[in-house]
């Protein structure tokens, strides 16, 4: 097999520090929005299983009763998803902390909590 041939691509991207910080904060906001949608979907999953998810009127009269075993399985599934969301939230917190350090003109890796938030 031959080696892949990668074209010589040298794009020039000019972004100021201010623009980069805004992009990073926007990326955090978008991830937070995604997490909110995931949490909402998991809540709706539980509501559907319990037969309490409705469109503003009454519950679905044809909804099949969920067994205890099924409810426990759904609970485990929701628990695992929410655990992953919590992990991602922790990573976003670290990312946000680094951005705050950048905003305060501190070196990202040398920034301490007490120093980082000083003006």
What pLDDT, in 10s, does the model give residues 39-66?
999 999 999 888 887 665 555 566 678 8
Q: Are 119 and 104 in contact (CB under 8 A)?
A: yes
pLDDT at 118 over 70: no
53 sits in the region (left: phi over 0; alpha: psi -120 to 50; else beta) called beta
Cα separation of 89 and 32, whole Å? 8
The answer, as to whether pTM is greater than 0.75, is: no
pLDDT at 22 over 90: yes
């Amino acid at each position: 097999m031959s080696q892949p041939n990668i074209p010589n691509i040298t794009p020039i991207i000019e972004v100021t520090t201010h623009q980069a910080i805004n992009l990073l904060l926007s990326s955090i906001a978008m991830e937070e929005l995604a997490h909110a949608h995931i949490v909402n979907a998991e809540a709706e999953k539980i509501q559907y299983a319990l037969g309490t998810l409705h469109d503003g009127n009454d519950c679905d009269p044809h909804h099949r009763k969920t067994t205890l075993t099924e409810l426990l399985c759904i609970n485990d599934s929701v628990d695992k998803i929410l655990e992953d969301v919590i992990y991602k939230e922790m990573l976003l917190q670290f990312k946000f902390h680094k951005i705050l350090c950048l905003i305060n003109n501190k070196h990202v890796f040398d920034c301490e909590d007490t120093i980082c938030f000083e003006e």
